[in-house]
Amino acid sequence: MTSPFASSNSIITMYLEPILHPHFNSYINVITLSSMPSGPLSDMVKVMNFPKLSPFQQVGRFASPFATSATCIHVLLRYPKNTANASIKYNDSLMTAEDIPSVFSYLTSNGYTIEQSLSQMMFDSPVDIGGISTQRLSGNKKMICMFKYEST
């Protein structure tokens, strides 16, 4: 039986999340998304696997057995994923905290709506929408915003 919520991903959550960069062997905070977005932004998102942040890190006991992978992350790239610079071997291919204003500008000028009321509600809520994931190997991610694509 398929959950009615499984395909309901019209609203995407954007996070700032720590990863262990496999080529530079250092920690970096990158912009990640809760799922693959619709619209032109999808050309800038790549599903990537990263190593655990710590050798002691384990997926939570309540993790879904249907999760794609404990290390799969939807990462926002600075360049379209079909260009040479989109490779993780380049240190400027992943979007970071410094890119948040540019990402917001891109979203608003390419048909996306930043859900300010939902984002603010989640910030004001006692429920932590970020934090450590029980579904996959993740660090202490922080929610940036929620957005959706307004198809024309």
Mean pLDDT of each 10-residue bin along the chain, 152 residues long: 64 89 80 93 88 55 52 85 65 88 95 80 52 54 90 68
- Domains of the chain, by residue range, sit at 11-149
Distance CA 44, CA 40 (A): 8
Token look-up 């989109």 returns: 86
Which tens digit of pLDDT belongs to each residue from 82-120?
Answer: 776 555 665 678 999 999 999 999 999 999 999 887 655
* H or E segment and range at residue 103: helix 100-109
Interatomic CA distance for residues 129 and 49, integer angstroms: 22
Task: Give the predicted TM-score (pTM) of the model.
Answer: 0.75
**Are 20 and 29 spatial neighbours (Cβ–Cβ below 8 Å)?**
no
Q: How far is CA 84 from CA 11, 94, 150, in A?
A: 30, 13, 30
